[in-house]
């Protein structure tokens, strides 16, 4: 919708014919965004070849853990010279690859043709055309500028950045911190806890980023602090809501059962911790979330463990 509002002709791929037909005939997506009128220059198809044909930009927005298999099927269909754009905020389980790395691995396109759009961009608010800023990251600044022009609208203000690693890490780790803040909210804890988790969450994200060659300043920008604040404050965030349900005492299975959409942090907390271990970085909040979500540690026990770690300087 953003690209179409910015003047691009957009073809949206989806798996279900009835949903593609509804988008084309009613200009609405009845399942996800029934109240939003979609632009005329956006059409939907179930044929990936039709969606990919002649595209200047190929925008990828499937759940992170499904990207590799989907892209393997789409790779032969990609338009020559197309720029591959990731909207995904996750890290692949097993390989611990960022989404742009998976894209490069599967398609063999150069990093200069892979871009990332991230930032405080809760889908429902974007769909309501509420003002938001975002980061368009690509190693090649000229490509980032081209994509910036392609998605700049009166309500969507993209900034360029060449730090792809930092931008992707910001997006993926904020989901894990969003889970932690949600758990704290669900436990009935207040804003001091939230402020502490956001700030120390940003500290551990920055530590990982530094170890991976990111620019630390990226984390005080939209891809870092901006997205953390939006996710950790909003009931619209699926990760936050998922955490809240866990904090209220629901089991993992019960929480999954009531979650209709993708909460990337649930799987990516494990791959982020994997990344941290590969780089020898301490990420205690991420470790706590993995303990609660995947190892059955009760939130109260996990919180006590987190708070009783040895005392440290704030910066080291």
Ligand X SMILES: NC(=O)C1=CN([C@@H]2O[C@H](COP(=O)(O)OP(=O)(O)OC[C@H]3O[C@@H](n4cnc5c(N)ncnc54)[C@H](O)[C@@H]3O)[C@@H](O)[C@H]2O)C=CC1
Task: Calculate the CA dihedral of residues 61, 273, 263, 249 and round it to 10 degrees.
Answer: 180
120 binds ligand 13P (CB under 6 A): yes
Flag whether 155 is marked binding: no
Q: How many CA atoms lie within 13 A of 196 on its CB side?
A: 13
The catalytically annotated residue of 174, 194, 267, 304 is 174
Contacted entry of ligand 13P, ligand X, none for residue 239, CB cut-off 5 to 8 Å set by kind: ligand 13P
Q: Which phi and psi angles does 67 have, rounded to 5°?
A: -60, -50
Task: Assess 210 for contact with ligand X (CB under 6 A).
Answer: no
Contact flag: residue 90 with ligand X (CB under 6 A): yes
Tokens representing residue 207 in the block: 């530590």
Smallest gap from Cβ 123 to ligand X, in A, equals 3
What residues between 9 and 68 interact with ligand 13P by CB under 6 A?
Answer: none
SS3 29: strand
**Distance set, CA 8 to CA 56, 70, 114, 134, 252 (Å):** 10, 24, 19, 18, 41
Interface characters, 120-149, with ligand X (x: CB under 6 A): -xxx--------------------------
Residue 48 found at the interface with ligand X (CB under 6 A):
no
What does the chain come to in residues? 316
Q: Catalytic annotation on 267? A: no
Considering CB distances under 5 to 8 angstroms, the limit depending on partner class, which of ligand X, ligand 13P, none binds residue 201?
A: none
Our finding on whether 26 is near ligand X (CB under 6 A) is no
Residues 253-292 within binding reach of ligand X (CB under 6 A): 261-262, 264
Of 161, 138, 270, the C-alpha closest to 223 is 161
The residue from 61, 133, 203, 250 that contacts ligand X (CB under 6 A) is 61
**How far, CA to CA in Å, does 87 sit from each of 20, 64, 95, 150, 164?**
20, 10, 19, 15, 12
Our finding on whether 77 is near ligand X (CB under 6 A) is: no
Q: How far is it, in rounded angstroms, from Cα 147 to Cα 123?
A: 19
Name the 3-class secondary structure at 106: helix
Is residue 238 within the footprint of ligand 13P (CB under 6 A)? yes
Q: Which residues bind ligand X (CB under 6 A)?
A: 15, 61-64, 66, 70, 87-90, 121-123, 261-262, 264
Q: Which residues bind ligand 13P (CB under 6 A)?
A: 89, 120-122, 175, 178, 227, 230-231, 237-240, 264
């Amino acid at each position: 919708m953003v690209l179409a509002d910015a003047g691009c002709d957009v073809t949206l791929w989806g798996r279900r014919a009835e949903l593609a037909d509804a988008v084309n005939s009613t200009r609405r997506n009845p399942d996800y965004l029934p109240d939003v009128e979609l632009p005329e220059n956006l059409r939907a198809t179930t044929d990936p070849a039709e969606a990919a044909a002649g595209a200047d930009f190929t925008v990828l927005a499937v759940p992170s853990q499904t990207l590799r298999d989907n892209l393997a099927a789409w790779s032969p269909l990609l338009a020559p010279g197309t720029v591959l754009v990731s909207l995904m905020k996750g890290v692949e389980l097993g390989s611990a690859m960022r989404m742009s790395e998976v894209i490069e691995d599967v398609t063999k396109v150069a990093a200069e043709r892979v871009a990332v759009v991230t930032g405080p961009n809760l889908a429902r608010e974007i769909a309501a055309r509420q003002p938001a800023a975002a980061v368009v990251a690509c190693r090649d600044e000229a490509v980032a500028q081209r994509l910036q022009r392609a998605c700049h609208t009166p309500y969507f203000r993209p900034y360029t950045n060449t730090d792809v690693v930092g931008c992707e890490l910001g997006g993926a780790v904020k989901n894990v911190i969003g889970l932690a803040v949600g758990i704290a909210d669900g436990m009935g804890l207040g804003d001091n806890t939230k402020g502490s988790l956001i700030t120390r969450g940003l500290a551990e994200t920055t530590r990982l980023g530094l170890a991976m060659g990111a620019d630390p300043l990226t984390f005080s920008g939209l891809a870092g602090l901006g997205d953390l604040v939006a996710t950790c404050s909003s009931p619209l965030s699926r990760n936050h809501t998922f955490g809240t349900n866990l904090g209220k005492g629901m089991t993992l299975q019960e929480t999954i059962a009531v979650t209709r959409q993708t909460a990337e942090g649930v799987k990516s907390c494990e791959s982020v911790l994997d990344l941290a271990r590969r780089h020898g970085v301490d990420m205690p909040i991420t470790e706590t979330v993995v303990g609660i979500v995947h190892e059955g540690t009760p939130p109260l026990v996990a919180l006590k463990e987190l708070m009783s770690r040895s005392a440290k300087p704030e910066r080291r």
